[in-house]
Amino acid sequence: MNWLLSSFFASALISLGTATLVTDVTGASQRSPLVNSTVNLTAIVTAKGKSGFYLHGDPVKDKRVSNGLVVFTTSATILSQVAVGDQVSLTGKVAEFRPAADPDYLLLTEITSPTNIVVLSSNNTIKPLVLGRDRSPPTQQFSALDVGRDGWLSVPNNQSRIDVVNTTLQPDKFGMDFWASLMGQLVTIPKPVAIDFPNSFKEIWVHGDWPVTGKNARGGLTLTFGPYGIPDANPEAVILGAPLDGTSNPKVALGSVLSDVVGVVSYQFGFYYVLPLTAPAVISNPSFDIAPTTLRSSPHDRCAITVGDYNVENMAPTGTHIGDVANHISNVLHTPDIMFIQEIQDNSGPTDDGTVSANVTLSNLVAAILTNTTVAYSFVQIDPVDGEDGGQPGGNIRQAYLYRPEKLSLVSAPGLVVGGPLNATKVVGSARTPVLSFNPGRIDPTNPAWTDSRKPLAAMWRTASGHTIFTINLHLVSKGGSSTGEGDARPPVNLPVAQRTSQVETVSTFVASILHMDPEANIVVAGDCNEYLQTRSVFASLTPLLTDIDEVAGIPPVERYTYVFDNNCEQLDHMFVSPSIVVRCAEAEHIHINNHAATTAARVSDHDPTVAKIRVC
Ligand SMILES: *[C@@H]1O[C@H](CO)[C@@H](O)[C@H](O)[C@H]1NC(C)=O
Ligand SMILES: *[C@@H]1O[C@H](CO)[C@@H](O)[C@H](O)[C@H]1NC(C)=O
Ligand SMILES: *[C@@H]1O[C@H](CO)[C@@H](O)[C@H](O)[C@H]1NC(C)=O
Ligand SMILES: *[C@@H]1O[C@H](CO)[C@@H](O)[C@H](O)[C@H]1NC(C)=O
Ligand SMILES: *[C@@H]1O[C@H](CO)[C@@H](O)[C@H](O)[C@H]1NC(C)=O
Ligand SMILES: *[C@@H]1O[C@H](CO)[C@@H](O)[C@H](O)[C@H]1NC(C)=O
Ligand SMILES: *[C@@H]1O[C@H](CO)[C@@H](O)[C@H](O)[C@H]1NC(C)=O
Ligand SMILES: *[C@@H]1O[C@H](CO)[C@@H](O)[C@H](O)[C@H]1NC(C)=O
């Protein structure tokens, strides 16, 4: 078009005065160019729900600009004026919505206060955009603002806000921009695969039939390192919300395959959504028979030690949970020589009555394991100070070791005592023979890093072969209060990452003091770290000293997960070993007995256990 013609059309548009296009409202940036304006729109209704309807305007060539838009209204009268397939004209105000209570969510552009609704024609059909064919989401990064070595997991985080920067969309590069460029549009998700259990609102994270990264054997997307070592955020996943027609999403498990979904792209609760027009059906489910570990305690090989690690999720002394955990330890983990357990509650469970002792809880667990096995575990732990270690109020959760006395015994010596909750165990002894001043003992328990959190439980053992091994059982501070992966704050807020980093530092100092005295010491540090190894800054003090056992065992990166949350299969539970163990090689398996269950109710814990086999000689 030449200059004369285009200026002619521009002035024609201005003189008409009424023609705002959907694409004028959406624009190529995160925020609308027309916010707070009153506009007249003509478009086709693609979908209708209880709180509004969706418009399809003429598309433009620019892929950044969505031609979909939501009209917000809860008025039954207004909703009854439009039907899917109607071409309508209406007047409304361009608004940006974010719930006041959720300042870390993105603003959603919408049309509010619709009036002058005129149906111009009916029964128009709009073909949904087929994702994976017409457009495919990028697979690595959420946002251009996730700067730093660890990408979306970089520290410091919460450094900028998408809505303040008002980023220009780059839908080929950044997942959040991709979904933003389709906001309000009708799309098809072909062959959706569930990558998490449904949440309590029956919403389901999926990826469709398009290129994905991090895909594991179960069909989930694992948090891995992407190209250039930047943690992969798996932005190619999207969450299916409540169907617009009031039907209910089906029960799914990790790896369930669903029928194709047609729905509209939206943003709510801190994530990009597709709201299905109607509920999909489950086409297939994976097998729920989970094989137990192949790693077994060796009665004859006295150098080999099997090590289990399991966050048993608030285990109280009574109820069925204790038998379920015992069953897992017995029949799924095959009674490892030593178990690192987290979340053992005191003898009164969650009742907040000042009880701190957990000997009944642990005795009951040990007795339950003995019902079906010949393994008579001993246990050791340290009672916390009442109410000082976080977790479920009244529960006084703590870490404990179960150990098979025929394979391991706590090193004892004259004058060596079990530490109290506030006694800091120290590395004492002499070159080549470090010992702990309290055995077991807690590491630096009065350090502010451990405020309202579980103190690390260190112990020194003698094996049946006469060798020593140091263990540290961890349960680091949880991620509560963090912002959503697709929220406004970039990189997403990771709480309390500074505290978690300090916690690892106190453990690293302790490990370094053992290795300083004996570089060949056998050390295993394991437990629920409430953090991914991809958040490298948190583990920076420990990684030069110890090696992740998954590396030693050669577990493929996509199979390294113990937890499923939002769009990711991810690893919160880790086992790190010292150089002397690394050189002797090790095996390890994450047993997905919980996260490959049919439902969340069928799980015994939200974490999967891990079993490793290491050699101390
Ligand atoms: C929208 O259309 C109405 C008539 O339907 C007209 O009165 C009004 O001026 C138009 N508003 C804008 C912003 O063009
Ligand atoms: C966002 O950017 C668009 C395009 O440059 C602009 O029209 C709009 O006014 C901006 N909005 C805000 C709130 O900065
Ligand atoms: C839109 O209106 C709201 C409420 O009146 C105001 O707070 C906001 O600054 C306005 N936004 C723009 C971009 O003018
Ligand atoms: C739209 O289609 C329905 C059936 O599909 C029909 O009953 C109705 O009359 C049609 N409306 C118009 C305006 O063509
Ligand atoms: C993130 O930063 C903003 C300032 O940009 C601040 O208001 C907010 O409280 C921070 N969020 C968290 C969870 O720290
Ligand atoms: C013991 O075995 C029975 C029968 O297989 C099983 O139902 C139960 O869960 C097992 N209990 C424990 C604690 O292992
Ligand atoms: C728990 O410890 C208390 C106090 O030491 C003791 O009286 C009780 O017998 C112990 N219970 C079990 C089951 O070991
Ligand atoms: C262990 O801690 C207790 C109470 O905090 C204290 O009374 C005791 O002296 C400590 N023991 C040693 C050996 O430091």
> Tell me: the pLDDT tens digits for 397-436?
999 999 999 999 999 877 778 999 999 999 999 999 999 9
Q: Please report, as a single letter, which amino acid is at residue 268.
A: Q
Average pLDDT over residues 53-61: 98
Pocket residues for ligand 3 (CB within 6 Å)? 35-36
- Which secondary-structure segment (H or E) carries 549? helix 549-553
Pocket residues for ligand 2 (CB within 6 Å)? 27, 29, 31, 33, 166
State the distance from the centre of ligand 2 to the C-alpha of 128, rounded, in angstroms: 28
Give ranges for CATH 2.40.50.140 in the chain.
2-121
pLDDT digits (tens, 9 = 90+) for 330-342: 999 999 999 999 9
State the distance from the centre of ligand 8 to the C-alpha of 141, rounded, in angstroms: 50
pLDDT digits (tens, 9 = 90+) for 147-197: 999 999 999 999 999 999 999 999 999 999 999 999 999 999 999 999 999
Q: Is 68 helix (H, G, I), strand (E, B) or coil?
A: strand
pTM recorded for the entire structure: 0.95
- Which secondary-structure segment (H or E) carries 14? helix 3-16
Structure tokens at 240: 């299916």
Query: What pLDDT sits at residue 18?
Result: 61
Q: Which atom of ligand 4 is nearest to the CA of 85?
A: 1
State if residue 363 touches ligand 7 by the CB under 6 angstroms criterion.
Answer: yes
State if residue 123 touches ligand 4 by the CB under 6 angstroms criterion.
Answer: yes
- Residue 418 CB: number of other CB atoms within 10 A? 16
Residue 207, pLDDT > 50, answer yes
State if residue 423 touches ligand 8 by the CB under 6 angstroms criterion.
Answer: yes
State if residue 437 touches ligand 8 by the CB under 6 angstroms criterion.
Answer: no
pLDDT digits (tens, 9 = 90+) for 277-332: 999 999 999 999 999 999 999 999 999 999 999 999 999 999 999 999 999 999 99
Q: Which CATH architecture has domain 2-121?
A: Beta Barrel (2.40)
Residue 76 neighbours by CB under 8 Å, 6+ apart: none
DSSP letter string over 500-530? HHHHHHHHHHHHHHHHHH-TT--EEEEEE-S
Q: How far apart (Å, rounded) are the C-alpha atoms in residues 389 and 396?
A: 7
Ligand lying closest to the C-alpha of residue 487: 5
pLDDT digits (tens, 9 = 90+) for 477-527: 999 999 999 999 999 999 999 999 999 999 999 999 999 999 999 999 999
Strand pairing report for 261-268 and 52-56:
unpaired
Looking at every residue in the chain, the average pLDDT score rounds to 96
State if residue 375 touches ligand 6 by the CB under 6 angstroms criterion.
Answer: no
Instruction: Compute the half-sphere exposure of residue 586: CA atoms within 13 Å on the CB side of its CA.
Output: 31
Q: Is 182 helix (H, G, I), strand (E, B) or coil?
A: coil
Query: What pLDDT sits at residue 5?
Result: 41
Q: How far apart (Å, rounded) are the C-alpha atoms in residues 559 and 571?
A: 9
Average pLDDT over residues 598-613: 98
Query: What pLDDT sits at residue 411?
Result: 96
Average pLDDT over residues 200-218: 98
Residue 11, pLDDT > 70, answer no
Strand order in the sheet with 338-344: 378-380, 398-403, 338-344, 304-315, 610-615, 587-590
- Give, for ligand 2, the residue of 24, 25, 32 to mutate: max count of ligand atoms closer than 8 Å to Cβ: 32
Residue 578, pLDDT > 50, answer yes
C-alpha distances in Å from residue 520, one per residue of 335, 411, 434, 468, 559: 27, 18, 11, 11, 30
Query: What pLDDT sits at residue 1?
Result: 39
CATH code, residues 304-615: 3.60.10.10
Give ranges for CATH 3.60.10.10 in the chain.
304-615
